[in-house]
Structure 1
Amino acid sequence: MERVSIFMIYCALFGLVFVNFAAAQTVHTVGDNMGWRIPTSASVSYSNWASGKTFMVGDILVFNFMTNEHDVVQVPKASYDDCSDDNAIGNIITTGPANITLDMAGERYYICSIGRHCEAGQKLNITVVSSSTGGPTPPVTTPPPATPTTPQPDACAPTPDAETPRPGGAPPPTGQSGRIPPPPPPNSASVSLTTSFFFVIASAALAFIF
Protein backbone atom coordinates (compact mmCIF):
# COMPACT_ATOMS: atom_id res chain seq x y z
CA MET A 1 0.00 0.00 0.00
CA GLU A 2 2.87 2.36 0.85
CA ARG A 3 4.57 1.71 -2.51
CA VAL A 4 1.32 2.45 -4.35
CA SER A 5 0.98 5.77 -2.51
CA ILE A 6 4.57 6.77 -3.35
CA PHE A 7 4.00 5.82 -7.00
CA MET A 8 0.85 7.96 -7.13
CA ILE A 9 2.74 10.91 -5.64
CA TYR A 10 5.46 10.60 -8.28
CA CYS A 11 2.82 10.44 -11.03
CA ALA A 12 1.12 13.56 -9.69
CA LEU A 13 4.40 15.48 -9.55
CA PHE A 14 5.32 14.40 -13.07
CA GLY A 15 1.92 15.47 -14.35
CA LEU A 16 2.26 18.86 -12.68
CA VAL A 17 5.71 19.44 -14.21
CA PHE A 18 4.44 18.36 -17.62
CA VAL A 19 1.44 20.69 -17.45
CA ASN A 20 3.63 23.63 -16.43
CA PHE A 21 6.07 22.91 -19.26
CA ALA A 22 3.26 22.60 -21.78
CA ALA A 23 1.70 25.84 -20.57
CA ALA A 24 5.05 27.61 -21.06
CA GLN A 25 5.19 26.59 -24.75
CA THR A 26 3.54 28.58 -27.55
CA VAL A 27 2.72 26.98 -30.88
CA HIS A 28 3.14 29.37 -33.82
CA THR A 29 1.51 28.31 -37.09
CA VAL A 30 3.70 29.98 -39.69
CA GLY A 31 1.59 32.20 -41.94
CA ASP A 32 -1.55 31.32 -39.95
CA ASN A 33 -4.27 30.29 -42.45
CA MET A 34 -2.01 30.93 -45.43
CA GLY A 35 0.41 28.23 -44.32
CA TRP A 36 3.91 27.73 -45.70
CA ARG A 37 3.78 28.67 -49.38
CA ILE A 38 4.63 31.47 -51.79
CA PRO A 39 2.98 34.66 -50.51
CA THR A 40 0.39 36.11 -52.89
CA SER A 41 1.50 39.69 -52.11
CA ALA A 42 3.94 41.66 -50.03
CA SER A 43 1.18 42.50 -47.55
CA VAL A 44 1.00 38.85 -46.49
CA SER A 45 4.76 38.32 -46.32
CA TYR A 46 6.25 36.24 -43.55
CA SER A 47 8.13 39.25 -42.20
CA ASN A 48 4.75 40.94 -41.59
CA TRP A 49 3.43 37.75 -39.98
CA ALA A 50 6.42 37.57 -37.57
CA SER A 51 6.35 41.26 -36.62
CA GLY A 52 4.85 41.89 -33.19
CA LYS A 53 5.19 38.24 -32.12
CA THR A 54 7.47 36.98 -29.37
CA PHE A 55 9.31 33.73 -30.01
CA MET A 56 10.78 32.11 -26.93
CA VAL A 57 12.95 29.09 -26.28
CA GLY A 58 10.66 26.05 -26.10
CA ASP A 59 8.09 27.43 -28.56
CA ILE A 60 7.13 25.40 -31.63
CA LEU A 61 6.94 26.54 -35.26
CA VAL A 62 4.43 24.65 -37.42
CA PHE A 63 5.04 24.78 -41.17
CA ASN A 64 1.90 23.65 -42.99
CA PHE A 65 2.64 22.57 -46.59
CA MET A 66 1.93 19.76 -49.02
CA THR A 67 4.62 17.10 -49.25
CA ASN A 68 6.78 17.38 -52.41
CA GLU A 69 5.35 20.84 -53.19
CA HIS A 70 7.43 22.75 -50.66
CA ASP A 71 10.10 22.12 -48.06
CA VAL A 72 11.69 23.97 -45.13
CA VAL A 73 15.34 24.26 -44.19
CA GLN A 74 17.21 26.34 -41.65
CA VAL A 75 20.17 28.27 -43.05
CA PRO A 76 22.66 30.93 -41.86
CA LYS A 77 22.01 34.59 -42.66
CA ALA A 78 24.28 34.68 -45.72
CA SER A 79 22.43 31.77 -47.32
CA TYR A 80 19.10 33.35 -46.32
CA ASP A 81 20.02 36.60 -48.08
CA ASP A 82 21.12 34.63 -51.18
CA CYS A 83 18.13 32.23 -51.05
CA SER A 84 20.56 29.31 -51.05
CA ASP A 85 20.50 26.06 -49.09
CA ASP A 86 24.32 26.08 -48.85
CA ASN A 87 25.57 25.41 -45.33
CA ALA A 88 22.12 24.20 -44.29
CA ILE A 89 21.65 23.76 -40.55
CA GLY A 90 20.24 20.26 -40.17
CA ASN A 91 18.37 18.29 -42.81
CA ILE A 92 15.92 19.66 -45.35
CA ILE A 93 12.40 18.77 -44.22
CA THR A 94 10.36 17.64 -47.19
CA THR A 95 7.34 16.11 -45.44
CA GLY A 96 4.61 18.44 -44.29
CA PRO A 97 3.45 19.57 -41.90
CA ALA A 98 6.77 20.16 -40.10
CA ASN A 99 7.06 20.99 -36.41
CA ILE A 100 10.28 22.68 -35.32
CA THR A 101 11.02 23.34 -31.64
CA LEU A 102 13.03 26.47 -30.89
CA ASP A 103 15.71 25.06 -28.61
CA MET A 104 18.03 28.06 -28.22
CA ALA A 105 17.99 31.84 -28.32
CA GLY A 106 19.21 33.84 -31.31
CA GLU A 107 18.35 34.64 -34.91
CA ARG A 108 16.68 31.90 -36.99
CA TYR A 109 16.43 31.83 -40.79
CA TYR A 110 14.22 29.44 -42.78
CA ILE A 111 13.65 29.15 -46.54
CA CYS A 112 11.97 26.90 -49.06
CA SER A 113 14.70 25.45 -51.29
CA ILE A 114 12.44 24.33 -54.13
CA GLY A 115 12.74 26.29 -57.41
CA ARG A 116 12.59 30.04 -56.91
CA HIS A 117 10.15 29.90 -54.02
CA CYS A 118 12.56 31.72 -51.71
CA GLU A 119 13.08 34.53 -54.22
CA ALA A 120 9.29 34.84 -54.41
CA GLY A 121 9.11 35.48 -50.67
CA GLN A 122 8.86 31.99 -49.09
CA LYS A 123 11.39 32.77 -46.37
CA LEU A 124 11.15 33.49 -42.66
CA ASN A 125 13.43 35.30 -40.21
CA ILE A 126 12.64 35.37 -36.47
CA THR A 127 14.42 36.29 -33.24
CA VAL A 128 14.20 33.76 -30.42
CA VAL A 129 14.60 35.06 -26.87
CA SER A 130 15.34 33.21 -23.67
CA SER A 131 12.49 32.86 -21.18
CA SER A 132 14.77 34.25 -18.44
CA THR A 133 14.69 37.69 -20.10
CA GLY A 134 10.93 37.93 -20.05
CA GLY A 135 10.63 40.38 -17.15
CA PRO A 136 12.53 43.34 -15.76
CA THR A 137 14.94 42.84 -12.91
CA PRO A 138 13.45 44.10 -9.63
CA PRO A 139 15.39 46.96 -8.02
CA VAL A 140 17.60 46.16 -5.07
CA THR A 141 16.32 47.82 -1.91
CA THR A 142 18.99 48.99 0.54
CA PRO A 143 17.85 48.95 4.17
CA PRO A 144 18.16 52.32 5.99
CA PRO A 145 21.10 52.69 8.39
CA ALA A 146 20.39 51.75 11.97
CA THR A 147 19.73 54.66 14.33
CA PRO A 148 22.17 54.67 17.27
CA THR A 149 20.44 54.31 20.61
CA THR A 150 21.36 56.23 23.77
CA PRO A 151 22.05 53.90 26.68
CA GLN A 152 19.40 54.27 29.36
CA PRO A 153 20.36 54.47 33.07
CA ASP A 154 20.11 51.26 34.95
CA ALA A 155 16.78 51.23 36.79
CA CYS A 156 18.28 48.94 39.40
CA ALA A 157 21.27 51.15 40.20
CA PRO A 158 21.33 52.18 43.89
CA THR A 159 20.59 55.80 44.66
CA PRO A 160 22.04 57.68 47.65
CA ASP A 161 19.68 57.89 50.56
CA ALA A 162 18.37 61.24 51.59
CA GLU A 163 20.23 62.75 54.44
CA THR A 164 18.56 62.12 57.80
CA PRO A 165 18.39 65.26 59.89
CA ARG A 166 20.35 65.05 63.14
CA PRO A 167 18.89 66.09 66.47
CA GLY A 168 18.89 69.82 66.93
CA GLY A 169 19.20 70.43 63.20
CA ALA A 170 22.95 69.79 63.18
CA PRO A 171 24.31 68.71 59.80
CA PRO A 172 25.72 65.22 59.45
CA PRO A 173 29.49 64.76 59.55
CA THR A 174 31.37 65.45 56.32
CA GLY A 175 31.63 62.43 54.01
CA GLN A 176 28.91 60.51 55.88
CA SER A 177 25.27 59.99 55.07
CA GLY A 178 22.46 61.04 57.34
CA ARG A 179 21.99 57.55 58.80
CA ILE A 180 22.37 57.18 62.58
CA PRO A 181 25.27 54.78 63.18
CA PRO A 182 24.51 51.67 65.24
CA PRO A 183 25.75 51.68 68.88
CA PRO A 184 29.26 50.34 69.35
CA PRO A 185 29.62 46.79 70.60
CA PRO A 186 30.35 46.39 74.31
CA ASN A 187 33.94 46.42 75.39
CA SER A 188 35.16 42.86 75.81
CA ALA A 189 37.55 43.89 78.60
CA SER A 190 34.69 45.43 80.62
CA VAL A 191 32.62 42.30 80.18
CA SER A 192 35.47 40.12 81.43
CA LEU A 193 36.06 42.34 84.47
CA THR A 194 32.39 42.39 85.40
CA THR A 195 32.17 38.62 85.08
CA SER A 196 35.23 38.15 87.34
CA PHE A 197 33.80 40.54 89.93
CA PHE A 198 30.53 38.65 90.18
CA PHE A 199 32.43 35.35 90.35
CA VAL A 200 34.46 36.60 93.37
CA ILE A 201 31.35 37.90 95.17
CA ALA A 202 29.53 34.59 94.57
CA SER A 203 32.52 32.61 95.91
CA ALA A 204 32.73 34.76 99.04
CA ALA A 205 29.00 34.38 99.69
CA LEU A 206 29.17 30.62 99.42
CA ALA A 207 32.21 30.51 101.76
CA PHE A 208 30.34 32.61 104.34
CA ILE A 209 27.28 30.39 104.25
CA PHE A 210 29.17 27.16 104.65
Structure 2
Amino acid sequence: MGLGRGSAVLLLLCLFVIQSEIVNAATYTVGGAGGWTFNTNGWPKGKRFRAGDRLVFNYGRGAHNVAVVNKGGYAGCNTPRGSKVYRSGKDQITLSRGMNYFICSFVGHCQFGMKIAIYAP
Protein backbone atom coordinates (compact mmCIF):
# COMPACT_ATOMS: atom_id res chain seq x y z
CA MET A 1 0.00 0.00 0.00
CA GLY A 2 1.54 3.31 -1.08
CA LEU A 3 1.43 6.68 0.58
CA GLY A 4 -1.06 9.21 -0.71
CA ARG A 5 0.23 12.60 -1.74
CA GLY A 6 -0.97 14.23 1.50
CA SER A 7 0.66 11.51 3.65
CA ALA A 8 3.96 11.86 1.81
CA VAL A 9 3.95 15.64 2.29
CA LEU A 10 3.16 15.24 5.99
CA LEU A 11 5.97 12.70 6.39
CA LEU A 12 8.47 15.02 4.68
CA LEU A 13 7.33 17.95 6.85
CA CYS A 14 7.84 15.90 10.03
CA LEU A 15 11.32 14.84 8.92
CA PHE A 16 12.19 18.47 8.15
CA VAL A 17 11.08 19.63 11.61
CA ILE A 18 13.09 16.90 13.33
CA GLN A 19 16.18 17.67 11.23
CA SER A 20 15.81 21.42 11.87
CA GLU A 21 15.80 20.88 15.63
CA ILE A 22 18.92 18.72 15.44
CA VAL A 23 20.73 21.21 13.19
CA ASN A 24 19.74 24.15 15.39
CA ALA A 25 21.02 22.53 18.59
CA ALA A 26 23.77 24.57 20.24
CA THR A 27 26.86 23.32 22.06
CA TYR A 28 27.93 25.00 25.29
CA THR A 29 31.15 24.46 27.23
CA VAL A 30 30.13 24.52 30.88
CA GLY A 31 32.13 27.12 32.79
CA GLY A 32 33.62 28.56 29.59
CA ALA A 33 37.40 28.46 29.31
CA GLY A 34 37.69 27.59 33.03
CA GLY A 35 35.68 24.41 32.55
CA TRP A 36 33.60 22.50 35.08
CA THR A 37 34.96 23.64 38.43
CA PHE A 38 34.02 25.35 41.70
CA ASN A 39 31.61 28.31 41.66
CA THR A 40 30.16 27.29 38.30
CA ASN A 41 26.58 27.49 39.60
CA GLY A 42 26.06 30.98 38.09
CA TRP A 43 27.37 30.02 34.65
CA PRO A 44 23.91 29.36 33.07
CA LYS A 45 22.65 32.91 33.82
CA GLY A 46 21.87 34.91 30.69
CA LYS A 47 22.02 31.91 28.37
CA ARG A 48 19.00 30.57 26.47
CA PHE A 49 19.04 26.81 26.34
CA ARG A 50 16.76 24.47 24.40
CA ALA A 51 16.06 20.76 24.60
CA GLY A 52 18.59 19.04 22.35
CA ASP A 53 21.41 21.49 23.12
CA ARG A 54 24.64 19.81 24.13
CA LEU A 55 26.67 20.62 27.24
CA VAL A 56 30.38 19.86 27.27
CA PHE A 57 31.90 19.36 30.72
CA ASN A 58 35.71 19.71 30.67
CA TYR A 59 37.63 18.89 33.86
CA GLY A 60 40.60 16.93 35.10
CA ARG A 61 39.74 13.23 35.02
CA GLY A 62 39.74 11.91 38.58
CA ALA A 63 39.48 15.43 40.03
CA HIS A 64 35.72 15.80 39.42
CA ASN A 65 32.75 14.12 37.81
CA VAL A 66 29.29 15.06 36.51
CA ALA A 67 26.20 13.50 38.07
CA VAL A 68 22.81 14.01 36.43
CA VAL A 69 20.46 14.36 39.39
CA ASN A 70 16.88 15.31 40.21
CA LYS A 71 15.73 18.48 42.01
CA GLY A 72 16.24 16.91 45.44
CA GLY A 73 19.76 15.77 44.56
CA TYR A 74 20.58 19.26 43.32
CA ALA A 75 19.18 21.00 46.41
CA GLY A 76 20.77 18.55 48.86
CA CYS A 77 24.01 18.00 46.95
CA ASN A 78 23.55 14.25 46.87
CA THR A 79 23.43 11.65 44.14
CA PRO A 80 20.19 9.64 44.25
CA ARG A 81 20.34 5.93 43.46
CA GLY A 82 20.21 5.35 39.72
CA SER A 83 21.72 8.75 38.77
CA LYS A 84 23.98 8.71 35.71
CA VAL A 85 27.53 9.73 36.65
CA TYR A 86 30.08 10.75 34.00
CA ARG A 87 33.83 10.53 34.71
CA SER A 88 35.71 11.00 31.42
CA GLY A 89 36.80 14.63 31.91
CA LYS A 90 35.31 15.49 28.50
CA ASP A 91 31.66 14.59 28.97
CA GLN A 92 28.98 15.60 26.47
CA ILE A 93 25.38 15.58 27.68
CA THR A 94 22.29 16.50 25.68
CA LEU A 95 19.68 18.58 27.50
CA SER A 96 16.25 17.07 27.98
CA ARG A 97 13.05 19.12 27.83
CA GLY A 98 12.34 20.66 31.24
CA MET A 99 14.69 21.09 34.18
CA ASN A 100 18.16 19.52 34.01
CA TYR A 101 20.27 19.27 37.15
CA PHE A 102 24.00 18.49 37.33
CA ILE A 103 26.39 18.27 40.28
CA CYS A 104 29.89 17.07 41.03
CA SER A 105 29.37 14.23 43.50
CA PHE A 106 32.86 14.42 45.05
CA VAL A 107 32.58 15.26 48.74
CA GLY A 108 32.18 19.03 49.26
CA HIS A 109 32.41 20.01 45.57
CA CYS A 110 28.68 20.62 45.07
CA GLN A 111 28.57 22.68 48.27
CA PHE A 112 31.29 24.91 46.79
CA GLY A 113 29.16 25.73 43.75
CA MET A 114 29.98 22.85 41.46
CA LYS A 115 26.39 22.42 40.34
CA ILE A 116 24.14 23.86 37.68
CA ALA A 117 20.40 23.84 37.00
CA ILE A 118 19.21 24.51 33.45
CA TYR A 119 15.71 24.85 32.06
CA ALA A 120 15.34 23.75 28.44
CA PRO A 121 11.95 24.35 26.82
1:109 to 64, 76, 101: 101
Which structure: greater strand fraction? 2
1:80-119 pair list within 5 angstroms: 80-89=74-83, 91-102=84-95, 104-119=96-111
Which structure: greater helix fraction? 1
Task: Verify the 8 A CA contact 1:73 1:110 in the aligned structure 2.
Answer: yes
Partner of 2:10: none
The runs of 4+ residues in structure 1 deviating greater than 4 Å are 19-22
Task: Verify the 8 A CA contact 1:73 1:88 in the aligned structure 2.
Answer: no
Whether 1:46 aligns to 2:8 is no
Partner of 2:23: 23
1:126 to 113, 118, 121: 118
* TM-score relative to the length of structure 2: 0.78
Q: RMSD of the alignment, in Å?
A: 1.9
Give the number of aligned pairs: 105
- The C-alpha deviation readout for 1:142-178, integer Å capped at 9, x for no partner, is xxxxxxxxxxxxxxxxxxxxxxxxxxxxxxxxxxxxx
Alpha-carbon distance, 1:112 to partner: 0.2
Whether 1:55 aligns to 2:86 is no
Change (3 A) 1:21 1:78: closer
Q: Which amino acid aligns with 1:124?
A: I
Greater RCO (Cα-Cα under 8 Å, separation 6 or more)? 2
* TM-score relative to the length of structure 1: 0.46
Give SS of 1:119's match: helix
Q: How far apart in 1 are the matches of 2:74 and 2:81?
A: 10
- Gap regions ≥5 residues in structure 2: 1-15
Change (3 A) 1:121 1:88: farther
Task: Verify the 8 A CA contact 1:76 1:88 in the aligned structure 2.
Answer: no
Task: Verify the 8 A CA contact 1:46 1:123 in the aligned structure 2.
Answer: yes
Percent identity between the two aligned chains: 34
Give SS of 1:98's match: strand
Task: Verify the 8 A CA contact 1:106 1:128 in the aligned structure 2.
Answer: yes
